[in-house]
Structures are given as structure tokens and as C-alpha cells.
Structure 1
């Protein structure tokens, strides 16, 4: 009986320590993998969060994320919003794509590296369960040039392309470059170590050597939108 009482006290003490550990500020690092058909990512990120409210359940923060994307036989489509939606501005989020304006660029082995500043929001449902959403805001992408196939209807032509270097969050197809966003959940194993699961929505982008698309206007930017399932581990600093 004494043995079980001591065990119960230790568990209660651990739970109290976990509850008291949620402070006004929170820093952590994480690493993760995400996969989909013929593609995947590896990410490393750091977060600096502010826990808000009387119970400090709401989280808002900033951070930085490095994303390495790998794929095989991936189709990139016309990127600029003025072509895909016929306009620019916030309204493109609610507009259907104009299929007649969209051409394709096939990349056999895409590999894109992006380093971006991010925005992070979330909510502590309990001392162990946290659900968050992070989105890249601005940064830089790099990687090797590739040979791809530009496809327009029944015609195609080989073309060289490089990774679009400047990344900027500008709402939907107004975005430029390679940007990662993630809806995720953390489960606390200890006060410092958390396991993570979630989904990534990733834009990667190539710029062709010339304006291979000529109608309805010249274009050299092509984007891949990827939805991936991911998992990882986070460590509270």
C-alpha cells in the first residue's frame, strides 16, 4: 500500500510541475519529416511564442523554418495570379482557376531548399496537448538548376529552370517562391519533449530560363502545390 501511495504522489507531483511550466514566453525547436506520393520534406524550425490570456492557453509567436523538398516526376503549373485567376489582390483566394491560362512544367527530380521567417498561432487544450498553425512569411530559396519539359496542350519543349529565390506570403496565388504552412498537434511526453503530427501545405516554385509560356501573356514562373502528412519531435528550450 505504501508503495502505491508513493507512486501516486510522484505522478501528481509530475503533473503539477507540468502545469506550472506554462509561462508567458515559450521557446522550442523541432525537426520533422513529411511525405506524399513521390515527394517529401525534411524541416527544422525554431519558435519564440507568447502564451496569452489568464490561463495562457492562446499562443502567438514568430520563428524561422528551413525546408528541404524532394520529389520525383512532379508537375508544376503556371504561378502568377493574374494568369491563374485573372486578377491580383485578396479576392483571388475565392476565385476559380482559369484552366485555359494554365500550362505545365514537368520536373523529373525537383529539389528545393527554403529558409523562411514564420508566424505561429495555437491553443493549449491541456497541459500535454497543443494544436497550432504555422505559415512561412518571407525568406529565400536555393538549389540546383534543372531540366524540365514545358507542356502546352499536345506540344512540349525541353527547358532549363532555376529555383525562384525570393519568397513572400502575399495571399494564395499572389504568393511568390517556396513557402511552407503546417497544421499540427504536439503531445507532451515530458515537460521539454513533445511528439508532433500534422499536415503540410507547401508551395515550391521554379523560374524557367525564358518566357516559355506566351499566351495569354509571357510567363516564366511555375508552381507546385503539395499536401503532405508529417511527424516529428520538438524540444522546449
Structure 2
């Protein structure tokens, strides 16, 4: 509840500060690739321009991310387990596939009329996906498990995060007035919840997370 209140307060504060600011809108279609994994994402952001020249762009939007991979390891997700390798166990998911729809935050800077940089991060939303088979890994032991994407996504900073959250550092070059090419480094959390709490020590746990680093290429339409 405190997290939701904080998000709503930030949204309200931003809207008050931006009442006299100019606005712009961006939509991106992006594909990313990493080690035996990749994503396709579509987003839309409403941004307020700040500063005398309006080069600073801050705003909110929505992003849909579809993740797919092959033989990916997911480690214990709760913060008190993830921060200590002695406490963390893993599951190996054979064919992970997660679809996430999130409210996202964007901060950008238009360095030149045709060139800009920025950062965006998912904040709150939900995930969907089918049940996947895998193996619970504990030392040399292993057992078959079934897991589904964690349904609720929320940004809580670092290992306190929950669910599937996408973030990216990007550069845009406008080849036309309203169209740009985007290059980005994408950092993605995906999370699965097992049917049972397969990890029992040092505490019972059913949430497991994969952290992916991907390079992406996309196109941008400015409205």
C-alpha cells in the first residue's frame, strides 16, 4: 500500500509541476537479443518538457514486453535470499516465455535537434504466461518443477523488486522530423513462481528471478 501511495504522489507532483510545460509523445517498437534469449517490446510515453529550451523530457507511459529464452537459470528472488549465494538456490526453466504490461517512467535529454539520450524503467503492472517445466537445482540434486510467471510486478529497488520489469538506457537519432532509430542497453528482470515452495532452506521460497542484459534496436515515432 505504501508503494502505491508513493507512486500516486509522484504522478500527482509531476502533473502539477508540468501544468505550464510543453509536451510531446513517443512510441517505440524495440527488439533485443542476449545469450539464448530475447525480447520484443512496444511502449508509449507522454513527456513534459522542462528548461528554457525544453531539452529535458520527463514523463509516464506504458510498456508491453514479451520475453522468450532457452534453458535459463532463475535464482531465489526474495531480497534476503538473493543477496547471499549461500542462501540462494536455482531452477532451470527449459523454455521461459513471459508477457508483461507495466506503467513505466521515462527521463530523457534532447542533446541536439536530431539526437537524444535517456533512461526508462517499468514501475508497476502485471505478467502473463503459460506454465513451464524445469528443474530445481540444489547442489548436485535436482527435481522436476512447474512454474508460472509471477503475476504482480512492482519496482521496489534492487532485489526487493517483484515480477517482470524492463529498463533501458537508450540513444535516439532522428532520421526524419518525427521518426528515429533507437539503440539501447536493456536490463530485464523476469520472475517465475513455482507451484510449490520447492526451496525449504534457509526458508521456504517459491519465487525465482532471472536478470538479463540485452542489446536492442528499435524505431521511434514522435507525436
TM-score by length of 1: 0.84
Structure 1 counterpart SS, 2:127: strand
Structure 1 counterpart SS, 2:80: helix
* Alignment partner of 1:29 out of 27, 30, 33: 27
In the alignment, the residues of structure 2 paired with residue 34 and residue 188 of structure 1 have an alpha-carbon distance, to the nearest angstrom, of 20
* Alignment partner of 1:80 out of 58, 78, 81: 78
Larger Rg over CA atoms: 1
* Alignment partner of 1:182 out of 165, 168, 171: 168
In the alignment, the residues of structure 2 paired with residue 155 and residue 229 of structure 1 have an alpha-carbon distance, to the nearest angstrom, of 34
Which structure 2 segments of 5+ residues have no match? 1-20
Cα-to-partner distance string for 1:29-86 (whole Å, 9 max, x where unaligned) = 110100011000000000100110001111111010000001001000000002123x
Cα-to-partner distance string for 1:187-225 (whole Å, 9 max, x where unaligned) = 011110011001100000000011100000000000000
In the alignment, the residues of structure 2 paired with residue 77 and residue 111 of structure 1 have an alpha-carbon distance, to the nearest angstrom, of 16
Alignment length (residue pairs): 203
2:218: which partner in 1? 232
Runs (4 or more) in structure 1 with deviation over 4 Å come to none
User: What displacement does 1:130 show?
Assistant: 0.6
The 8 Å contact of residues 55 and 109 in structure 2, kept in 1 or not, is answered as: yes
1:68: which partner in 2? 66
In the alignment, the residues of structure 2 paired with residue 119 and residue 54 of structure 1 have an alpha-carbon distance, to the nearest angstrom, of 22
User: What displacement does 1:233 show?
Assistant: 0.2
1:130: which partner in 2? 116
Which structure 1 segments of 5+ residues have no match? 1-22, 86-97
The 8 Å contact of residues 75 and 82 in structure 2, kept in 1 or not, is answered as: no
In the alignment, the residues of structure 2 paired with residue 124 and residue 161 of structure 1 have an alpha-carbon distance, to the nearest angstrom, of 43
In the alignment, the residues of structure 2 paired with residue 109 and residue 119 of structure 1 have an alpha-carbon distance, to the nearest angstrom, of 29
> By percentage of residues, which structure has more strand?
2
RMSD over aligned Cα, in angstroms? 0.8
> By percentage of residues, which structure has more helix?
1
Structure 1 counterpart SS, 2:109: strand
Cα-to-partner distance string for 1:116-140 (whole Å, 9 max, x where unaligned) = 0000001111001110100000001
